[in-house]
Amino acid sequence: MRLSPPRVNWVFLLLQIIGLVFSKSFEAFSFNRFELEHYKNETKELFDFAFDNYLKLGFPYDELYPIKCGPKTRNFTSPSEIANDVLGNFSATLIDSLTTLAVMGDSIRFENAVNLIKNYVPRDFDIDSTIQIFETTIRIVGGLLSGHLYATDPAKKVFLGSRYDGHLLESAKALADRLLPAYLTQTGLPIPRINLKHEFNNLSPELVDENNPVAMACPMVEFTLLSYLTYDDKYRHVTRYAFNKTWAQRSDLNLLPMSFNPQNSLPYNQLTGIGASIDSFYEYALKGAILFDDEHLMQVWEDAYLALKVNAKGDWFFSNIDSEYGQTATPWIDSLSAFFPGLQVLGGDVDDAKFKHVMFLKLWNTYGGIPERWNFQIAEKEGTNEAQLKDLDESAKSTIALEWYPLRPEFIESTYFLYRATKDPFYLHIGWNILQNFKKQFRTECGFAGLQDVITGEPQDRMETFVLSETLKYLYLLFDENNELHFDRGNVLFSTEAHPFWLTVEMKRNYERHRFFNDRLYKRHLKNVEQRELSAQRGSPLFHMFRGLSNSIFPKDLSVETRARSTTAYQPDIVNRVCPNLENLQCSKNTMSSPMLTSFDRLFEVNWRYAATLIQPSRLLGSTPMELTQPFYDRWYDPAQSKCRVKPTTLSFEMAFDASLPGGQTKNSNVTANSLNVNTLAGYRLRIEVLTPGATDIYGMVLDTRYFTNISLKNVHSPRSCLQFGNRSPASVYRITAIDGTPLPNGFKVKLNKEPLFSSSSDVSSLGYNSQNILLLDCVPVVNARLAA
């Protein structure tokens, strides 16, 4: 198919010319309005280049090969192949890119795209394609709904008025009607795939027997929005039941296993985390709560996030853990979890979002992209020696579990949200670096190609729809200070595919007045699954008195002790540049500085903590980390304040106390600036630091002997004999440095009640206290934990 060339957008062309004139009006890395406008226009040009090539070389098929320069189609000879999941033969790139055109305010291209969808995409989606429910929902249904919102909102730049007949909403409804039968299971949980034309015909068991929390729960947001726009409540009822049923499968720790059989709700995989298969569940609990003003969804988010913090949170990332016991279960994290700092910003936890974002910054610095899976710990092989590690790329390869980077958006998404929350130029500079990657490394003859292998740099001849729908959209918004979304006072939220969704007061009022649910099939279905649910026998809860060390399989990232190893990942000059000698400190500069460069004294901690597994491949040797680009660094750091924390020489470990301990039903706390008052240790996870004289602690302080001489081991009260310590001062002591994954500042005190921790019914043999009411753990004093009567 050949299409006529797109109409020239003279307004945008004029803006480009103006941008060229004013491009000389800024000094690089000043990030004034002229510079940001320049980068915004460069991003727009990159998008237009790839989108126009898709229309010319790939449309009406789903994707464009960026290197072969031809259409990427589904496998028509094997319709049920899993590779077809996102290739439904419905012009996926066109529909998924629609809202990027809207966000960029390109009214001409937006209207052209809306008309192309009307003229070339079957409005009833009567297509013989077996596709994945979740991906089709977020990319196609979500794209159509968001496009409809833009086309019908007079406040938006791309408002179409009478030139639009509502066909995007009609198409979204037609497609949703073809996806909804996937929910007609015994449990009400959807199967993962369906054929748009023939529903369940020719679906083999391996295509439908296993599903994950994201795919079962998350279509709820797009389908509920569809109910608000059409007034037909069946979409909301059916998918909301599935969301609630998915959440009901959580463990006693409020953690969801990563996969289930949708026919019987039995879990396949007890693994859980924040990455693939589970990520968007948290996202849509919070975003659904905000978009639909839903208190229950907000409670789900709060409970789920708390469970993650208690069981999976480390300083730099959330581990993949066992959903029943909370123990770390894999030595890797995946690239999809890079979205989570952005979600933390939306949830109000900006401080921790900064930490989690730094981890992915270091991954990008190391590999020139974020590998699908990165090993934060690798098993030591017998006979490992320097000779075996001589080949740098072989060493780097051992740190990667899955080696490709398909230009995923999650890292730039979190960068965008952190910049909007902090306005720190640190995040603008990250965006600038990624922009350079798109211009120089990822750009091909016809589009953008990611990395098939981050070690070798081999390109990947695929441009998934999210490259145009999400990655370049967030990059554009990062530089577009004046985007209409940034001034919208409504509850505009980005879907997990970066489609903007919103509901006005009038839309909500009309929905409440006119909504209906008269589909007998789905009414009967919901009644049946609810009756089966009521009659099902609930399993008895499992209680574990004391879980002990929670790093029995793999240590959490907090307690990883980095071993000396031959690697080029850690560059000593980093410390010298960010931690100047105290005697040579300069005066503060009379300019604004970046808080991340000035105040975040742990910015380079990841470099030494994970030196064993952050190994740069040879192709990137000599490259400068983003945060140390010379002109940016010199402009935005403050030489009087910018420093990094000294590497500690102490060891740390973690302990978790189960809620079934005495007082576990009353896990209440009172937090002040310098202390935490708790009734019990039940249900808490503690990070313990082992302190010895002369050691450097995690706060960068050298511990002198006075720290230990004032602690008594006389009159010890403990079920365990502590006589071996005599009355002398202890050789080492413990200190609590984090509770439930939250780091404690230096000097922080933990105050505990003796009751019920040491009640007559309590039998926790590892705990005790001395005459100073200092808590003892295995007869070792915990210096910042005191008991009160």
> What mean pLDDT do residues 240-266 have?
95
Contact 335, 405 (CB under 8 A): yes
| Known catalytic membership, residue 740 | no
Amino acid at 14: L
pLDDT in tens, 736-775: 999 888 889 998 999 888 776 776 555 566 788 888 888 8
Q: Which helix (H) or strand (E) holds 97?
A: helix 92-103
Contact 71, 58 (CB under 8 A): yes
Quick one: pLDDT band at residue 539, thresholds 50, 70, 90? very low
Beta strand pairing status for 749-753 and 271-272? unpaired
| φ, ψ (nearest 5 deg) of residue 735 | -145, 135
Long-range contacts of 508-511 (CB under 8 A, 24+ apart): 508/228, 508/293, 510/231, 511/227, 511/228, 511/231
How many Cβ atoms from other residues are within 10 Å of residue 624's Cβ? 13
Contact 448, 462 (CB under 8 A): no
Q: Which one of the listed residues 334, 352, 410, 424 is annotated catalytic? A: 410
> Which carries the bigger pLDDT value, residue 233 or residue 379?
233
Q: Name the architecture of domain 10-330+464-527.
A: Alpha/alpha barrel (1.50)
Look at residue 564 and tell me whether its pLDDT is greater than 50: no
Q: What is the DSSP letter of 591?
A: S
Look at residue 509 and tell me whether its pLDDT is greater than 90: yes
- Whole-angstrom Cα distance, residue 85 to residue 371? 22
Q: Report the pLDDT value the prediction gives residue 534, as an integer from 0 to 100.
A: 84
Q: Give the least confident one: 262-271, 503-512, 758-767.
A: 758-767
pLDDT in tens, 444-477: 999 999 999 999 999 999 999 999 999 999 999 9
- Whole-angstrom Cα distance, residue 783 to residue 557? 24
Q: Which one of the listed residues 106, 279, 403, 654 is annotated catalytic? A: 279
Q: Where do we find the tokens 């939220």?
A: 493
Task: For residue 482, give every residue at least 6 positions away whose Cβ sits within 8 Å of its Cβ, in sequence order, or none.
Answer: none
Name the pTM for this structure.
Answer: 0.90
Contact 221, 501 (CB under 8 A): yes
pLDDT in tens, 624-649: 999 999 999 989 988 888 888 888 99
Task: For residue 592, give every residue at least 6 positions away whose Cβ sits within 8 Å of its Cβ, in sequence order, or none.
Answer: 636
Q: Which helix (H) or strand (E) holds 460?
A: strand 459-460
pLDDT in tens, 387-433: 444 588 999 999 999 999 999 999 999 999 999 999 999 999 999 99
Quick one: pLDDT band at residue 682, thresholds 50, 70, 90? confident
Beta strand pairing status for 685-691 and 675-678? unpaired
Return binding residues for Ca(2+). Answer: 496
Q: What is the dihedral of CA 210, 214, 219, 220, to 10 degrees?
A: 120
pLDDT in tens, 306-338: 999 999 999 999 999 999 999 999 999 999 999
Q: Report the pLDDT value the prediction gives residue 202, as an integer from 0 to 100.
A: 80
- Secondary structure (3-state) at 788: strand
Q: Report the pLDDT value the prediction gives residue 732, as an integer from 0 to 100.
A: 86
Look at residue 696 and tell me whether its pLDDT is greater than 70: yes
Q: Which one of the listed residues 96, 315, 372, 424 is annotated catalytic? A: 372
Nearest to 374, CA basis, from 322, 329, 331, 434: 331
Contact 291, 493 (CB under 8 A): yes
| Known catalytic membership, residue 372 | yes
The token pair at 552 is: 């029995």
Quick one: pLDDT band at residue 489, thresholds 50, 70, 90? confident
The token pair at 315 is: 């300083």
| Known catalytic membership, residue 410 | yes
- Whole-angstrom Cα distance, residue 227 to residue 221? 10
- Whole-angstrom Cα distance, residue 208 to residue 95? 26
> What mean pLDDT do residues 10-32 have?
69
Q: Where do we find the tokens 């199967």?
A: 191
Q: Report the pLDDT value the prediction gives residue 779, as an integer from 0 to 100.
A: 82
> 234-247 and 520-535 are packed helices; what angle lies between their axes, rounded to 10 degrees?
20
Return binding residues. Answer: 496
Look at residue 14 and tell me whether its pLDDT is greater than 70: no
Q: Report the pLDDT value the prediction gives residue 773, as an integer from 0 to 100.
A: 86
- Whole-angstrom Cα distance, residue 756 to residue 749? 19
For 166-300, strand residue ranges (E) read 193-195, 259-260, 267-269, 271-272
Q: Report the pLDDT value the prediction gives residue 186, as an integer from 0 to 100.
A: 94
Q: Where do we find the tokens 């105040």?
A: 599
For the chain, what are the domain ranges? 10-330+464-527, 555-636, 651-788
| φ, ψ (nearest 5 deg) of residue 546 | -155, 120
Max CA separation in the chain (angstroms): 91
Q: How far apart are the first and last CA of the chain?
A: 82
How many Cβ atoms from other residues are within 10 Å of residue 589's Cβ? 15
Per-residue HEC secondary structure of 523-543 comes to: HHHHHHHHHHHHHCCCCCCCC
Q: Where do we find the tokens 């729908």?
A: 469
Q: Which one of the listed residues 37, 135, 283, 470 is annotated catalytic? A: 135
Quick one: pLDDT band at residue 710, thresholds 50, 70, 90? confident
